[in-house]
Amino acid sequence: MVIASIDIQNGKVVQLKQGSQLMLEREDAAELAAEFDKYGEVAVIDLDAAMKTGSNDELVKSLLRRADCRVGGGIATVERAAELVSLGAKKVIIGSKAFRTSGDSFGINTAFLEALAKKIGRERVIVAVDARDGEIVVDGWKTPTGLPLIESAKALEPYVGELLYTCVEREGTMTGTNLDSIRSLREAVSCLVTVAGGVSTLEEIEAIARLGCDVQLGMALYTGKINLADAFIASLSWNQAWQEGKLLPVVAQAPDGQVLMLGYTDREALAETFKRGNLCFHSRSRNKLWMKGESSGNTLKLIRLRADCDRDTILATVEPTGPTCHTGNWTCFTDQRYTWELLQNIVTERFRNPKPGSYTATLDDERVREKVMEEAEEVCTAKTHDEIIWEVADLLYFTTVLMTRAGVSVVEVMAELDRRHKK
């Protein structure tokens, strides 16, 4: 997986060389997050919080609503980490707190990490092992700890799902990373490892992927030295690909999770997918590139791609513009499931293009609110199993109409429920 980094300072996206020298600054964090999300998780780092000079909390929260984010920067309590997860963070990145036991004493903070893993799950915990010449450094890389990288990584593993290794002496320099130290770290632990610091070529990304590690990109991405689409393609396990290392399977799914089809891709088809914004494949029968829907018009608009744990299968989340299967069925496996999202799509279409006799199209704000209150009362007074089903269906329908008129999506409501579940 390729992870794009958004470092925030004073409300702006920045890139620092060696953690201090400002190299670039921009103000389009929201747009960047939405774009980066197509390729993988986004690393959002609040530098002000990390340096204890302020906070960019509201901006971080807004980015969590736009992309799959892992968040770091000044997370020093279990409560703060849990709050970020409840707000939508996929993972949290812990820095100095993981290595400071008390005062100026350094070691693995097992008490904190154990409590953190118990609260949010170790699979959501990333510890940043920032190392200069093989020694862990903290406090924005200013303070050496005397802790060796490899031994520290081994000690951390029971409490984390992932390690974020930054080769500090290479960070922001685009001079190449240290493959030998990455290899040593990869061989020392079995948890996930993401590498940052100095990565500047696609060849390096391929080499890091072959070692079984993910890559986090910053300076090379923002300066245009590496294109994110090319980086995503380079990070995949083409050496494990089907048919002499040429093709990887792609599972296409709708936003509600329903599987639409299975196809195969190669480097060319993936590049075209990113270029066109619609899912493209390599046809095994015709031995050529093809875009889904190029003749029928039933395209699959790209939302995001995710590689699996072995990087040899791709999950593509797409927005179908019509039936996916050549037979006319909604999917290549079954008919379209009736979901809450589909109900809202139907309601939306009724308002956009009212059909003669459509009841939905007649519902204005006042009327639909009256119906929600009426149906809620009927749910409460329903007695039998079947009555409750009937009345809840009515309530869900009118609630969906109310949401749609207010511009609230099912996805937003489900995301809020997910956040509450993680508290």
Nearest-angstrom CA–CA distance, 56 and 69? 15
- Active-site residue flag, 180: no
Nearest-angstrom CA–CA distance, 178 and 204? 10
**DSSP for 355-407, written as a single string:** PTT-SGGG--HHHHHHHHHHHHHHHHH--SHHHHHHHHHHHHHHHHHHHHHTT
CA distances for 96 relative to 86, 100, 106, 367, angstroms: 22, 6, 10, 56
Nearest-angstrom CA–CA distance, 398 and 406? 12
Q: Which residue in this structure is represented by tokens 């924005």?
A: 140
Which amino acid is present at 274?
F
What's the gap between Cα 12 and its chain centre? 21
Q: Write down the catalytic residue from 7, 37, 46, 68.
A: 7
SS3 141: coil
Nearest-angstrom CA–CA distance, 207 and 213? 9
**DSSP for 66-108, written as a single string:** TS-EEEESS--SHHHHHHHHHTT-SEEEE-GGGTEEETTEES-
Q: Write down the catalytic residue from 46, 48, 68, 130.
A: 130
**In 16-72, which residue ranges form alpha helices assigned H by DSSP?**
29-36, 47-50, 57-64
For the chain, what is the radius of gyration of the CA atoms? 24
Nearest to 93 by CA among 118, 129, 52: 129
Beta-ladder partners of 242 = 247
Which amino acid is present at 147?
L
Identify the burial level of 25 via C-beta atoms within 10 angstroms of its C-beta, where 0-12 means exposed, 13-18 middle and 19 or more buried: exposed
- Active-site residue flag, 130: yes
**Left, alpha or beta for 138 (phi > 0: left; psi -120 to 50: alpha)?**
beta
340-343-349 Cα angle (round to 5): 145
Nearest to 346 by CA among 272, 393, 400, 269: 400
- Catalytic amino acids? 7, 130
